[in-house]
Amino acid sequence: MKNKNFHQYIENMNKTVLILINIVSTLSLGAVDYATGMEYSFSIIYLIPISFSSWFIGKKFAVIMAILSGLSWFFTDLISGHYFSSTIILAWNSLIRLFLFIIIANLIYYFKDQIIKNHHKELILEKEKVVIDTLQKLTRMIVNNITLQNAEIIKWVNNKKKKNGSVPDVLVSSSRVIGESLQILSEVSFVSPYITSEEWNVDMYLKLLEKKLSKVHTDLLPPEQ
């Protein structure tokens, strides 16, 4: 909980303040690196403000911090009296460090971006599950109610036929359509989400339901005269 509160506190801080803190930190590291001499390596320490920038500020500023860290290291080596057989070697070493800093900055940004995307996806799936659960409950109520009403229609039609009464074809067809539609509604709501390997969502639910219901109406209802 404390870590979460600290993370939220940093996220809510003014970006300008964070930028200044990181710049001052990097320059201070350069000064400490120079003061301690060549016997101590500060390569890992330089990654702290770079990582911090990448996570809390953004990729562009993290790259700027990587460049600033590389330059700080370069000038520290240059003025500290560290001997190089050629300035090309110093430039090469500094360039390699710079590329390393930039790569790490981008990797951390990418890592955070993936965490955010996965979290967002989980939230969407959770909401979709709540919606589908609600749809299933409503479907159960609707199917049960309409099934009872349709049963009364079928009962009336059968009684009418037993008495050799005339029953409109459209009424019989409509009753069959209702029955088939209720079966499809139940199948799509309670079976389809669990027999597919895909993540089930509301759009899939509605498209499949519309497709199946449209086919039932086309197949069972008589054409209009």
What is the per-residue pLDDT for 105? 92
As a whole number of angstroms, the distance between CA 7 and CA 50 comes to 17
pLDDT of residue 102: 92
pLDDT higher for 208 or 26?
26
pLDDT at 151: 83
For residues 105 and 50, is the Cβ–Cβ distance under 8 A?
yes
Alpha carbon of residue 206 to chain centroid: 22
- Rounded to whole angstroms, the Cα distance separating 70 from 88 reads 15
Is pLDDT at 225 greater than 50 in this prediction?
no
12-16, 63-67, 191-195, 208-212 — which is least confidently predicted?
191-195
Chain segment 97-151, per-residue pLDDT in tens: 889 999 999 999 999 999 988 888 888 878 877 877 777 787 788 788 788 877 8
